Amino acid sequence: MTSASLLELSGVTRRFGGLRAVSNLDLSVERGEVIGLIGPNGAGKTTLVNVITGVHRASAGTVRFNGEDITRLPPYQVARRGIARTFQIVQPFPEMTVLENVAAAAMFAGAAGYGREANAQALEHLEFVGLAKSANARAASLTLAMRKRLELAKGLAMRPKALLLDEVNAGLNATEVDHALSLIRSIAAQGITVLIIEHLMKVVLTLCTRIVVLHHGELIATGDPASIVKDQRVVQAYLGRRYAADNATPGAPHG
Ligand SMILES: Nc1ncnc2c1ncn2[C@@H]1O[C@H](COP(=O)(O)OP(=O)(O)OP(=O)(O)O)[C@@H](O)[C@H]1O
Ligand SMILES: [Mg+2]
């Protein structure tokens, strides 16, 4: 059976002991969408990405991607189907060079050959994110903003159909956020479907074609940016104070 949607979640639940971090979630993502996944701390956003990418097994429900049931696939198999993700806590291999980190990501996803071919492709991705000059530096020596860009390059090196970004802008200053914004825009323009977890409403509102709101593991609203900022449940659960604060100081860390 083929499905029209690129990514289809049906009844997805993830329990940690007695806690339902993600609860009976239904969501369809179409090809080419740029989805903003928002909600308070602990809402289940990262857990959802972990379930989609096979890092955590779903306690119930199914995840379909490109018409195939991927619910029980391990992470490297999910990557090979075309889903790449970045990590909220950036975790490069610290002793490897920047270039080696990107080449390793490509090999993990089966998206590159080995040796020279992998390195040449990795360098292209580093050029795209503006890190080519640091290709031979140890990953551990990068600043936070550079490590976030490295995460993007690693994701792109997997040649994904869908890229899941978990707070790639957290901790960045306004200039760095603007740079990341234009990178994500050009990624989307390449036809890659993007799902972005983001606390900065400026980013979500300017970038996303649709917003999905999680609260206590449940999907409480989905819609275009204009309707989401007016949705009373969303304002109460999340946006109220934060939206006002973000408008005053874009780039302020969440918490
Ligand atoms: N490995 C785990 N073991 C136990 N509980 C977990 C685990 N991972 C997440 N949780 C819990 O699941 C809930 C959802 O967490 P999650 O990290 O998905 O939230 P989030 O929406 O990404 O929050 P934030 O905006 O702070 O990143 C939280 O209550 C969290 O404590
Ligand atoms: Mg998170």
- pLDDT tens for each residue of the chain, 255 residues long: 445 799 999 999 999 999 999 999 999 999 999 999 999 999 999 999 999 999 999 999 999 999 999 999 999 999 999 999 988 777 778 889 999 999 988 888 887 777 788 889 999 999 999 999 999 999 999 999 999 999 999 999 999 999 999 998 989 999 999 999 999 999 999 999 999 999 999 899 999 999 999 999 999 999 999 999 999 999 998 888 656 555 544 444 443
So what's the pLDDT on residue 1? 47
**Protein residue whose Cα sits closest to atom 24 of ligand 1:** 41
In-domain check, residue 1: no
Helix axes 174-189, 115-129, angle to 10 degrees: 120
Check: pTM over 0.75? Answer yes or no: yes
Using CB distances shorter than 6 Å, the residues near ligand 1 are: 16, 19, 21, 39, 41-47, 88
Query: Mapped to the 3 state alphabet, what secondary structure does the chain carry?
Result: CCCCCCEEEEEEEEEECCEEEEEEEEEEECCCCEEEEECCCCCCHHHHHHHHCCCCCCCEEEEEECCEECCCCCHHHHHHHCEEECCCCCCCCCCCEHHHHHHHHHHHCCCCCCHHHHHHHHHHHHHHHCCHHHCCCEHHHCCHHHHHHHHHHHHHHCCCCEEEEECCCCCCCHHHHHHHHHHHHHHHHCCCEEEEECCCHHHHHHHCCEEEEEECCEEEEEECHHHHCCCHHHHHHHHHHHHHHHHHCCCCCCC
If you measure from the C-alpha of residue 235 to the centroid of ligand 1, how many angstroms do you get, rounded to a whole number? 21
Helix axes 98-108, 115-129, angle to 10 degrees: 110
| CA 45 to ligand 1 centroid distance, Å | 8
Which atom of ligand 1 sits closest to the CA of residue 14? 12
Asked if residue 183 lies in contact with residue 175, where contact means CB atoms within 8 angstroms, the answer is no
CA of 216 to the centre of ligand 1 (A): 10
Residue whose CB lies within 8 A of the most ligand 1 atoms, among 19, 41, 47, for a mutation test: 47
User: In the prediction, which pLDDT does 53 show?
Assistant: 96
- What is the spatial distance between Cα 113 and Cα 126, in angstroms, rounded to a whole number? 17
Ligand with an atom nearest the CA of residue 166: 2
CA dist 29 and 127 (Å) reads 29
> Does 111 fall in a domain?
yes
Which one of 45, 164, 195, 213 would you pick to mutate in the ligand 1 pocket, going by the greatest count of ligand atoms within 8 A of its CB? 45
Q: Indicate whether 103 belongs to any domain.
A: yes
Q: Find the 43 Cα to ligand 2 centroid distance in Å.
A: 8
Give the sheet arrangement for strand 7-16, strand by strand: 19-29, 7-16, 60-65, 68-69
Residue 148 lies in a domain: yes
Q: What is the pLDDT of residue 4?
A: 76
C-alpha span between 169 and 250 (Å, rounded): 11
In a domain, 133, yes or no: yes
- Cα 20 to averaged position of ligand 1 atoms, centre (Å): 10
- What is the domain range of residue 151? 94-159
Q: Which two tokens stand for residue 118?
A: 């992998």
User: How many domains would you assign to the chain?
Assistant: 1
* pLDDT in the model for residue 100: 93
Structural domain contains residue 195? no
Q: Is residue 204 part of a domain?
A: no
Residue 75 sits at φ, ψ, to 5 deg, of: -50, -40
Residue 244, domain member (yes or no): no
For residue 46, report the phi and psi dihedrals to the nearest 5 degrees: -65, -40
Q: What is the pLDDT of residue 248?
A: 45
| pLDDT at site 251 | 42
The per-residue pLDDT for 24 is: 98
